[in-house]
Amino acid sequence: MLKWHELSKDLFLVKEQSKRVNRLNSLIIQNEGPINPVLIDANYPFDFIDDLYSKIKSAKMLLFSHGHLDHTGHGFYHQEHYNTPLFCPKQEIDYLIDLETLMERVGFSRLELKDTYLMMVKDFMKFQECKEVNSFIPGKDVFEFNSFLIETIHIPGHSPGQTAFKISSKYEGFRKILFVADIGSHPYYGDQNSDITQYRESIDKLEKIYYEDDYILVPAHGNYYINKDPDFFNRIRRKIDNNKKKVLSALTEKKPFSLRELVQKRLITPENRIVEPIKDLYYLWDGGMIYQHLQELISEGLVKEIEKGSFLSNRYILN
């Protein structure tokens, strides 16, 4: 079932009540009453989507913060069953309409992980490509409705087009919403088109916006914050820096380690959280994050790369 939380007048956070991994904090904006609202990141199992539309009948649009399939994987179901227009950042439209391109850009193809990833998205996620997706330009395009304004904020690093949304209203007493997408409790920057420097800059950008006004803070996953949380962004920074310390601590001055070996040390994701059928995908997910930190450490003169080869066979040693 879906649980609705009214955050401000005619704006709801809607969460699925399930044990599914990566449950989302999606937003429902009832711009014209309960019929024809605007949806943000409303990616649920199929029966939950049916439950949603039993209440709202139709939707004006479904806005995606970015193209990762935990946010967009069932966009096709909204489109095919309820004729909902889909909108995705222009940098990641291919993620929804061409799975081959997604696997190439993110890195699964280059690391020869296509078969495992296809098994996950087809068998477990039940993903299908969308027939048509509209694009918007993060940081430039604004969505204006009768009573609501949705401003887009470009926050790359997690993915090239990741977008935060600043939502305001003409309603008296409406509290603004800052939806910060996947800048949250479990920072991820492991795709081969992720960028940890941009990720850190996006944290700084959102923190500045957050403290300039009174916002309800909504990440895409986990807790949301009605009252001002003075430590939210610093907690993310500490987790990123802690990952970096783990990578540095795993290296020695005598024995070089390959990236494959560093992933197998389970520096980022503990063994008990790794599911066997998709275990190899962590060579990208964790491997990409470890690689980002290795590049930082190399630039700081603390680590050097030796015996260059493929992504996973590159070897690293303390400088």
Q: What is the pLDDT of residue 141?
A: 98
Taking the C-alpha atoms of residue 145 and residue 285, their distance in angstroms, rounded to an integer, is 38
CA gap 238, 257 in Å, rounded: 25
Domain 236-318 sits in CATH at: 1.10.10
Task: Please state whether the predicted TM-score (pTM) of the whole model is above 0.85.
Answer: yes
The 10 Å Cβ neighbour count of residue 263 is 24
Whether the Cβ atoms of residue 101 and residue 95 lie closer than 8 Å to each other: yes
**What residues does each domain of the chain span?**
2-229, 236-318
Pairing relationship of beta strands 142-144 and 148-154 according to DSSP bridges: antiparallel
pLDDT tens for each residue of the chain, 319 residues long? 899 999 998 999 999 988 887 899 999 998 766 668 999 999 999 999 999 999 998 999 999 999 999 999 999 999 999 999 999 999 999 999 999 999 999 999 999 999 999 999 999 999 999 999 999 999 999 999 988 999 999 999 999 999 999 999 988 889 999 999 999 989 999 999 999 999 999 999 999 999 999 999 999 999 999 999 999 999 999 999 999 999 999 999 989 999 999 999 999 999 998 888 999 999 999 999 999 999 999 999 999 999 778 899 999 999 9
- CATH number of the domain located at residue range(s) 2-229 in this protein: 3.60.15.10
Q: Which amino acid is at 7?
A: L
Q: How many CB atoms lie within 10 A of CB 291?
A: 24
